[in-house]
């Protein structure tokens, strides 16, 4: 039986792709359709589902890319909870490793009539 030998770079790429695929969460709804609103409206009209936290270590050397990745992660988690609206609390870089982190509140609001 012949042994399949992969170049080291190709093997490393395949392992990285498998790891990244395992870390991705499949949102229940489209996170791009989440609306942002002010806290006063959300607290009066909507049900708080919980706080979500997003993280991102990727984005090369760009802090903006890490922050955007963390916000995207938080939005995906809110969508998976069934949120219709989101209120971003904070987003930035933290720690020695420079992780992108974001925190938001997820809300479900009644449909506009």
Report pLDDT digits (tens) over 80-97.
999 999 999 999 998 877
The pLDDT tens digits for 26-80 are: 334 788 788 888 899 898 999 999 999 999 987 666 889 899 999 999 999 999 9
Alpha helices in the chain (DSSP H): 8-23, 39-45, 63-80
pTM of the model: 0.69
Name 111's Cβ contacts closer than 8 Å, sequence gap at least 6.
none
């Amino acid at each position: 039986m012949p042994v399949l030998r992969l170049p080291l770079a190709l093997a490393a790429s395949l392992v990285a792709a498998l790891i990244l695929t395992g870390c991705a969460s499949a949102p229940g709804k489209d996170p791009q359709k989440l609306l942002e609103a002010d806290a006063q409206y959300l607290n009066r009209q909507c049900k708080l589902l919980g706080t979500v936290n997003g993280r991102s270590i990727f984005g090369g050397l760009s802090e903006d890319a890490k922050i955007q990745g963390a916000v995207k992660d938080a939005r995906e988690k809110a969508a998976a909870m069934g949120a219709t609206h989101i209120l971003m609390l904070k987003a930035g870089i933290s720690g020695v490793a420079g992780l992108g982190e974001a925190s938001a509140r997820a809300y479900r609001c009644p449909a506009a009539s």
